[in-house]
């Protein structure tokens, strides 16, 4: 059964800082890679060390999607943040972080 994808409000706000093409890449990549087995590590998907942002990271070129997965009461992927990779930092909204 496919996972349901939910964008939290902060992630929706992060989308405003992306171009239309970048938003399209995010939506397509999330649908293709996180609908089934979002917790299976791949080349572009990895579990992160403990941090306040999210448990998992999805790489889509220079874009990063940070998400958490819930199994109960339903299978749900919560997109927590979306940013752009810049060197060894990520720009999320207008803020630079080092996840």
pLDDT tens-place string over residues 40-57? 999 999 999 988 889 999
Distance CA(39)–CA(55), nearest Å, equals: 10
Q: Which residue has the higher pLDDT, 99 or 31?
A: 31
Domain 4-97, architecture per CATH:
2-Layer Sandwich (3.30)
pLDDT score, position 70: 94
For residue 49, what is the DSSP state?
P
Domain extent listing, the chain: 4-97
H or E stretch at 25: helix 20-34
**Is the overall model pTM greater than 0.85, yes or no?**
yes
Percent of the chain residues topping a pLDDT of 90: 79
Is the pLDDT assigned to residue 23 strictly greater than 70? Answer: yes
Is the pLDDT assigned to residue 67 strictly greater than 80? Answer: yes
Distance CA(41)–CA(73), nearest Å, equals: 23
């Amino acid at each position: 059964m496919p996972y349901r994808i939910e964008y939290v409000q902060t992630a929706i706000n992060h989308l405003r800082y992306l171009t239309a093409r970048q938003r399209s890449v995010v939506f397509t990549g999330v649908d293709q890679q996180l609908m089934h087995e979002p917790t299976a590590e791949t080349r572009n998907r990895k579990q992160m060390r403990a941090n306040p942002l999210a448990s998992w990271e999805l790489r889509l070129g220079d874009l990063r999607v940070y998400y958490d997965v819930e199994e109960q009461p339903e299978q749900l992927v919560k997109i927590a943040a979306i940013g752009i990779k810049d060197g060894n930092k990520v720009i999320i909204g207008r803020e630079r972080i080092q996840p």
